[in-house]
Structure 1
């Protein structure tokens, strides 16, 4: 690692004691900061084109004497920083963290209070945050609202989901910003817990495109001890303003100096691929705080999950109880319902399948007592996270899995009772250590306990991070579902190996997602960190799994294969049931082959809502994998494999939509073609609407491997 810190003043623009301009290292992005009548303001330009017009900064306090105006500048300093760091896992082997920084130190003479605003300007965007130094006249304080503005230059096209304090599990809407108000009501679909706050409120990460062809992304980084930020639109003036998630009393944050806000981020480029390739949010997080990371390993897994999501099986063990009190419930005396999926024989079947096909782990949900009345009741003591159902022999099943070279993946559903989870957390992690579990999928379905708290409020954000830190002490990796959307904390705590926090594959069994959904998620949800999207569905007609479920998966098989490359995650599930893979073993081969950790990633082409094509180099190999997903319309790629080594030959296997493929009527039509490729190979490949293609490119070690193959 090389680190360079320039302490001398790096003043890259001009001019008065109340106005400073600082540029990115390549000079293409600039921030203009100034005090205007005592009010902090900023502007952002890209290649001298306005991106954010003059926008106000400030924080409104419950106690009065707001930190919004009446400021004078005490000092302003600038510096430069350049380092290269290696993530424990990731899209690339090394990440450069290179920025120019400006710190504006402000004083409010009327109250004798101090507030700093720190700006960092990268070649791909900017980040800024509020900092509150330790001081006599500002010690404990409560935020009523943060008033960070993003004044836009026009009525941009946006890909958005409704602003909500409790869920991101919405389909995306593409519209002009001015159309959000009229469309938002229909964009709100039902969820187990939701709190929509405004007719023009949307969530971050927000992706936009200007009429001039600039791509702009708004998000936040390093969300700790603070409330999640949403955006509320003044659609008359095209100004977004931050809108924090409140606590049970309606306040937006309770802080003690010294402290700071998360970073507010703006990623900008005239090339959509640059948005996808950006590492700005990771770079704005602190370096890894774990001394030993050798136990953190990317995971490819299967699981007893899809059969329950589709309704073929159940999480619960019995139908004999209207309600459950764990302390006096003897399940051994209760009749089985006959649909409980987490039983010994069924779990062994998944273990055998995982072992046969080289998967690392098997997720088992519904293994522990209490599922009979877990949903929607806001119970405090809903699960104990240590007691298995009578038909789940936790000791024997783990021993069986280990004998096959496979681990079981733990599942902890909290049902929103975070207090109960913290009460049992140490015992639950100790049980995992006892039986050899090293990863857990946690869930937060339903309204939160304590009552009145929201999924994305300060209290819950502290809870999620507490669980990750405690898990690290037990060498456990965490995959949190229904938690706050990621903001790059996986750099600091890389045992946070995955999150859901978006509309995942499960909704394909709940009525479907829009065909363009997976062409938007990498521009939005994945900006802050990887998603446990759970791809790999091969049977699109859910009625064939559960006759009472008439849902249809809006994708082709080739599309589902491509997701393992386009939806980056070090945690990838082959989500379908074994029987469906056994029907299409030639296509299933790609899921078996594809890597989950990478040395390099190349975004070959992209347009939000339309298509994404990505090439990734598998960790410590010469092998590459390519994935392309299409949106609502057919897409033809014209790509060159110039990312391959010039002096080598490779064996490529192309999995593509068949000529008659159609995601509605013929989603299981695909073709497989194999041949020789080099770095000069050019490919024209077609993806139907909601379709795609996937390519494995394996380095040929010997010419004998090429025998009988032709050039593609």
Structure 2
């Protein structure tokens, strides 16, 4: 054979080999875009014998996550595309919430992961206009009997971005450079906001942990420092997989030009399992009065105490102001001879509940298993009761819900308690380091709120204005938080039972009212002060009384991390707007471009010029104004202060 023919054949063979190799690589790279094409992600498995799915993410032409990995099972694998579905669009309505209608609009990619041992798992990714979500689905769990699976996701960033994250019942952290981030302890640091610069933000979180908890023993997502300098890693374990099928929670990467968009994102709830309660007519959002923080307060020669007279007085206050609930906190019960009992020397609970029902007020009752192991005794010397007997007892009393304390990050207990509470038609509100089970309020809307924050007066402490701003900007992304805002008293608080160590609330009175709206997800809001404190400021109290219990729309209309937050929420044709500032305060120009009608009548409550959260917290002014959508309003926010307003259209 002539030499030139031999060389030609060699070149052709090499060409076809390279072509085949490139084709295989390209075939193993799967691209998913958002419906508006501003977000692009690729998924691949191009590393030889790798157990990882590799992915990256581009937002508005900027790569925000470099090549990173997703892994559930530690074994080499390859990927096969099963389907790609474009432009999926559905709508659904919640029982209550920050909006009345949700739009679920995304593109979807489904891959099959084939492991070298013959096992296989389904991987599903959904791309929304506002972010990326993905989860694993095992259709035959027999393949993984006895296995503990770990869902590990890395997030490798192109630069040393700054992060912000919750810190349990303390002030959230941030800004902290990723290179300096150091995860320690058990505190959950999710959701995590990433400031990528140039008005680009990401948020790392999860949804539908409830679904996974019904199929395994599991733990919530936590975020650690990654192996690369500008990298993070989320990790959670799943053991004792008990059902025929298993799904991990959705891992979510939200993207936005403003971190305020994370506070009203549809995505976490869109991804949650739909409502599992057939009849939800008994689930009512609302405002609850609360007797615990009034104990020791004296008004008009009446002293609030843990007794029947106080409870009936609080019922009267709730009823006369159309508040739906009264929360009776600790020390109303005892456990004796293995039975839960009302402390009848304190009051007649049956009489209180019947009186409340006569006045259209529902009762919420506190319970805790401070020592949760049923094989141990609690501090009263009795064994801890099974929650079934507790819920039966509280339901038989005629209460509408339970505030459950001191269970911590116990995912499977939280799941069982929510489901059991629904069986007994009880609302449930977890306190003291609860699981941020994001999305569960869609699945079980009786899980009406929880204390995923520092609630006011916990540990006898108040949070600073700086701390409130951070919690409202970061913790609130995870959903409702029972923060107990709304103090109108600013003196003698140290003398109250469980009062503040420093005797003050670090806020202004207007900011206290504003914080109720800012943190309102349309579930449950607990207001902590005595009736006389509210009645002494009847004009500002009107703002709280007029707040709806659920919303048609919610928007964060302005935000600056660690400095201020402005929220607008709409019910029917009326807008309710509130803002809060950090320790510095300031004068702001509020843009009204979120309004739709031609002209509105605005009732505005704001800090007076001499107001200050430390020196003069009760000084405020009320004014009215006519407002058009193309205008701005000049607003004064004192240090630690805020504003709130009601906007009604002049023409419906």
| TM-score normalised to structure 2 length | 0.86
Asked whether the equivalents of residues 202 and 232 of structure 1 are also in contact (C-alpha less than 8 Å), the reply is: no
Report matched runs for 1:367-386 at 5 Å: 367-370=331-334, 384-386=339-341
The more displaced of 26-35 and 673-682 is 673-682
Distance in 1, matches of 2:314 and 2:165, equals 38
Report matched runs for 1:76-87 at 5 Å: 76-80=82-86, 81-87=88-94
| 1:363 Cα deviation after fit | 0.6
Distance in 1, matches of 2:337 and 2:121, equals 44
| 1:681 Cα deviation after fit | 4.9
1:387 aligns with 2:342: yes
1:360 aligns with 2:346: no
Report matched runs for 1:208-357 at 5 Å: 208-224=194-210, 225=213, 226-234=218-226, 237-244=229-236, 253-256=239-242, 258-307=245-294, 341-357=305-321
**3-state SS in 2 of match to 1:581:** helix
**What does the per-residue CA deviation read over 1:73-96, in whole Å, with 9 as the maximum and x for residues that have no partner?**
243421132101111101111110
| 1:57 Cα deviation after fit | 1.6
Match of 1:47 in 2: 60
1:439 aligns with 2:396: no
Asked whether the equivalents of residues 580 and 637 of structure 2 are also in contact (C-alpha less than 8 Å), the reply is: yes
Match of 1:375 in 2: none
Distance in 2, matches of 1:356 and 1:615, equals 27
Asked whether the equivalents of residues 334 and 341 of structure 2 are also in contact (C-alpha less than 8 Å), the reply is: no
1:580 aligns with 2:536: no
**What does the per-residue CA deviation read over 1:131-170, in whole Å, with 9 as the maximum and x for residues that have no partner?**
2230653234223x432111122222222245xxxxx212
Q: Which runs of 4+ in 1 moved over 6 A?
A: none
Asked whether the equivalents of residues 100 and 121 of structure 1 are also in contact (C-alpha less than 8 Å), the reply is: yes
**What does the per-residue CA deviation read over 1:318-361, in whole Å, with 9 as the maximum and x for residues that have no partner?**
xxxxxxxxxxxxxxxxxxxxx99331011112112212222111
Structure 1 residues 68 and 585, CA, compared in 2 at 3 Å: closer, same or farther?
same
Query: Could you tell me which of 4, 24, 35 is aligned with 1:25?
Result: 35
1:561 aligns with 2:548: no
Match of 1:426 in 2: 388
Distance in 1, matches of 2:583 and 2:135, equals 38
| 1:205 Cα deviation after fit | 0.6
**3-state SS in 1 of match to 2:144:** coil
Distance in 2, matches of 1:276 and 1:15, equals 39
Bigger-Rg structure (1/2): 2
Distance in 2, matches of 1:463 and 1:512, equals 30
Match of 2:415 in 1: 465
Distance in 1, matches of 2:193 and 2:118, equals 39
The more displaced of 86-95 and 347-356 is 347-356
**3-state SS in 2 of match to 1:490:** helix
Distance in 1, matches of 2:294 and 2:177, equals 40
Distance in 2, matches of 1:540 and 1:348, equals 25
Structure 1 residues 56 and 548, CA, compared in 2 at 3 Å: closer, same or farther?
closer
Asked whether the equivalents of residues 628 and 694 of structure 1 are also in contact (C-alpha less than 8 Å), the reply is: yes
| 1:613 Cα deviation after fit | 1.1
Match of 1:603 in 2: 556
Asked whether the equivalents of residues 486 and 499 of structure 1 are also in contact (C-alpha less than 8 Å), the reply is: no
Structure 1 residues 548 and 287, CA, compared in 2 at 3 Å: closer, same or farther?
closer
Structure 1 residues 384 and 238, CA, compared in 2 at 3 Å: closer, same or farther?
farther
| 1:694 Cα deviation after fit | 0.4
Distance in 2, matches of 1:290 and 1:306, equals 33
Q: Count residues in correspondence.
A: 604
Asked whether the equivalents of residues 260 and 473 of structure 2 are also in contact (C-alpha less than 8 Å), the reply is: no
Distance in 2, matches of 1:650 and 1:229, equals 44
| 1:653 Cα deviation after fit | 1.6
Q: Which runs of 5+ in 1 are unaligned?
A: 1-13, 60-66, 163-167, 185-194, 245-250, 314-338, 372-380, 449-454, 703-712
| 1:628 Cα deviation after fit | 0.6
Match of 1:478 in 2: 428
1:159 aligns with 2:187: no
Distance in 1, matches of 2:588 and 2:71, equals 46
**What does the per-residue CA deviation read over 1:176-199, in whole Å, with 9 as the maximum and x for residues that have no partner?**
2257558x8xxxxxxxxxx815xx
Report matched runs for 1:40-189 at 5 Å: 40-59=53-72, 67-80=73-86, 81-109=88-116, 111-134=117-140, 137-143=143-149, 145-162=150-167, 168-178=168-178, 180=180
Structure 1 residues 680 and 175, CA, compared in 2 at 3 Å: closer, same or farther?
closer
| 1:365 Cα deviation after fit | 1.1
Match of 2:646 in 1: 696
| 1:545 Cα deviation after fit | 4.2
Structure 1 residues 160 and 271, CA, compared in 2 at 3 Å: closer, same or farther?
closer
Distance in 2, matches of 1:576 and 1:255, equals 46
**3-state SS in 2 of match to 1:402:** helix
**What does the per-residue CA deviation read over 1:656-703, in whole Å, with 9 as the maximum and x for residues that have no partner?**
01101111211111111124445455311121232110002245689x
Match of 2:13 in 1: none
| TM-score normalised to structure 1 length | 0.79
Distance in 2, matches of 1:554 and 1:536, equals 12
| 1:642 Cα deviation after fit | 4.2
CA-based RMSD of the aligned residues comes to 2.9
Report matched runs for 1:532-547 at 5 Å: 532-541=482-491, 542-543=493-494, 545=496
Distance in 2, matches of 1:513 and 1:21, equals 46
**3-state SS in 2 of match to 1:147:** strand
